[in-house]
């Protein structure tokens, strides 16, 4: 991949190692730290560092719920680049991964050193690369409900930073940070646009607050 021009689908690798983490999603423009300690994933990181620092972040799924394209994995994930790397004193790695483009799984190929490898199809998420997702986001509704939600978690100070974020960053940061269930996180990952993702988050948080208050209205 060349750094002097925007990424295109043809630049992206079709065969990727998989880091499967339940409850964790990565979105383009987003970054997240991960502690790596399983031997298979330590080997995966070693291989990634010598081959472009790229991997697929995909949530594991119980196939008893629904059979997917690849056994034990959700059907969509995100291409990630390792943008920071460190070692702990006890053999673990601490990495920071940055999202580049989402993909649909297209199959599985032979794994290495205990970790799995998948085939990817980026075409359904081409907008992640061309910047065409610029539709309006209902910031007022989302930030209002998030303010109530974070206040209940004792995190009200964080809202000031969210209010400064542009629409895309607001969508990405909240979707990655909010402690939703894995299936809900997956729905946020697969949302067609920032606007749709923000509408879904507003609904999910509203439902959570209603559950906490026994069904009383939240304004």
8 Å CB contact between 115 and 41: yes
Q: How far is CA 17 from CA 7, 105, 120, 160, 169, in A?
A: 20, 12, 11, 37, 27
What's the CA gap between 34 and 86, in Å, rounded?
11
Q: Do the beta carbons of residue 103 and residue 78 sit within 8 Å? A: yes
- Alpha helical stretches, state H, the chain: 39-49, 127-130, 139-152, 159-164, 167-177, 182-190, 194-212
Q: What are phi and psi of 191, to 5 degrees?
A: -55, 140
Kindly report the pTM of this predicted structure.
0.87
Give Cβ neighbours of residue 165 (< 8 Å, ≥ 6 apart): 173
Half-sphere exposure (Cβ direction) of 167: Cα atoms closer than 13 Å: 17
Q: State the DSSP code for 60.
A: B
Report yes or no: 167 and 136 within 8 Å, Cβ to Cβ. Answer: yes
DSSP conformation class of 16: E
pLDDT given at position 65: 61
Q: What is the pLDDT of residue 81?
A: 97
pLDDT the model gives residue 161: 76
d(CA 215, CA 209): 8
What's the pLDDT score for residue 7? 80
Task: With beta carbons less than 8 A apart as the criterion, state whether 163 and 143 touch.
Answer: yes
Query: pLDDT 10s per residue in the chain (219 long)?
Result: 555 567 888 889 999 999 999 999 999 989 999 999 999 999 999 999 998 999 999 999 987 666 778 999 999 999 999 999 999 989 999 999 999 999 999 999 999 999 999 999 999 999 898 877 766 788 888 888 888 887 776 666 567 777 888 888 888 988 998 889 999 999 999 999 999 999 999 999 888 887 766 654 433
């Amino acid at each position: 991949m060349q750094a002097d021009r925007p990424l295109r689908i043809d630049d992206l690798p079709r065969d990727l190692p998989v880091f499967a983490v339940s409850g964790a999603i990565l979105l383009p423009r987003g970054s997240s730290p991960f502690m790596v300690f399983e031997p298979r994933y330590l080997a995966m990181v070693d291989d990634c560092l010598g081959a472009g620092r790229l991997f697929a972040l995909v949530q594991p799924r119980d196939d008893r719920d629904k059979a997917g394209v690849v056994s034990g994995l959700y059907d969509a994930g995100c291409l990630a680049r390792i943008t920071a790397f460190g070692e702990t004193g006890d053999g673990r790695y601490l990495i920071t991964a940055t999202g580049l483009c989402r993909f649909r799984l297209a199959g599985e190929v032979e794994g290495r050193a205990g970790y799995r490898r998948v085939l990817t199809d980026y075409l359904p998420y081409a907008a992640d690369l061309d910047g065409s997702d610029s539709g309006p986001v209902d910031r007022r509704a989302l930030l209002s409900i998030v303010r109530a939600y974070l206040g209940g978690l004792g995190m009200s100070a964080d809202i000031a930073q969210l209010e400064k974020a542009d629409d895309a960053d607001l969508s990405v940061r909240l979707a990655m940070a909010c402690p939703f269930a894995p299936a809900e996180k997956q729905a946020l990952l697969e949302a067609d646009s920032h606007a749709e993702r923000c509408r879904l988050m507003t609904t999910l948080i509203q439902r959570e607050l209603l559950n906490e208050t026994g069904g009383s209205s939240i304004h």
